[in-house]
Structure 1
Amino acid sequence: MSTVRPLDATQTQPDNGDKEALSGIFWGGMIIGLLVLQIAMSVGAAIFAVNSGSNDVVPDYYQKAIHFDQLKTSESVTVTQES
């Protein structure tokens, strides 16, 4: 007599339903997570740009730019004379 058992067809096929569901949840969550991260970074950058103070208006900017060399020379002379 032979001791070989016949294989059951249901045992040879792995159950991929759970893996497919988990994979769908993982990749769907990854896409949604990246979109949420992009929105959060954009809002953070906008808040930082508005509150940083780097875009403040400087009064008489053009006149200061024209006389920049004179201003720096007078500041350096004043500093050296005081010390």
Structure 2
Amino acid sequence: MSDSRPLDTEIDESAETLARWKWGGVILGFLGLQILLSGVAVFLATSDPSNVIVEGYYEQALSWDQQRARQAASDALGWTSSIDLGKPQGMLGERLLTIRLVDPAGQPVTGCHLAGEIFHHARGGDVFKLHFQEQDPGNYTAVAPLRRSGLWELSLKTDRDAQHFQETRQFKLKDSGEFQTVATSPANRAGGHSL
């Protein structure tokens, strides 16, 4: 009679070792998958330009009264603005953006330092700063990167002596290149970006 116990024990130990490796690998595989998915989620959350962290938001909230006073002073000026967009230029499709400022009597507002920020609503993280130059009395121009159709928001602020004007405008740019003003509001009511 031969004894088969050592052979059975070796087979059992071999099967047990294989099972340990298999189930340990499954557990480590799930942990690795969790780390990979977490990394992808962090990458997507931090690299997507449609997600926006508004710079200076807390400071804006603290200075709400001063912002309201500035907006009231801007509204008291009675200035109005209008937008004109030129045809797409160059390979990037940039456009000449013209802002016309007039006073309550319809006279052009001249000698201003006009600045702005513009962004597409689908890409709120891609904010472009604009510095306008006065070409004609009351007509201020800047080149704007309006390559995408859809809803755009433009924030304007200007200083002339002790007069400060601010306004936020929204306009829809169509695929055909035409645009349509959607809304105009005082700059601080829009809740958007600040200059």
TM-score band w.r.t. shorter chain: 0.5 to 0.7
In 2, the alpha carbon distance for the partners of 1:31 and 1:51 equals 30
In 2, the alpha carbon distance for the partners of 1:19 and 1:33 equals 21
How many residues of Structure 1 are paired with residues of Structure 2 in the alignment? 63
Tell me the equivalent position of 2:40.
Answer: 44
By percentage of residues, which structure has more helix? 1
In 1, the alpha carbon distance for the partners of 2:47 and 2:178 equals 33
Tell me the equivalent position of 1:10.
Answer: 4
Query: Which consecutive aligned stretches of 4+ in structure 1 deviate over 6 angstroms post-superposition?
Result: none
CA positional deviation for 1:60:
7.1
TM-score by length of 2: 0.27
Structure of higher RCO (CA pairs closer than 8 Å, 6+ residues apart): 2
Letter in 2 for 1:46: V
By percentage of residues, which structure has more strand? 2
In 1, the alpha carbon distance for the partners of 2:32 and 2:154 equals 43
Residues 17-73 of structure 1 deviation map (CA, whole Å, 9 limit, x = unaligned): 101101111111110111111012101211121011111254779x66xx6xxx34x
Query: 63, 79, 83: which is aligned to 2:178?
Result: 79
| Bigger CA radius of gyration | 1
Tell me the equivalent position of 1:30.
Answer: 26
**Structure 2: gaps (5+ residues):** 55-123, 125-152, 156-167, 180-195
In 1, the alpha carbon distance for the partners of 2:40 and 2:12 equals 41
Percent identity, aligned pairs only? 28
**Structure 1: gaps (5+ residues):** 1-5
Alignment root-mean-square deviation, CA: 3.1
In 2, the alpha carbon distance for the partners of 1:28 and 1:19 equals 14
CA positional deviation for 1:9:
3.9
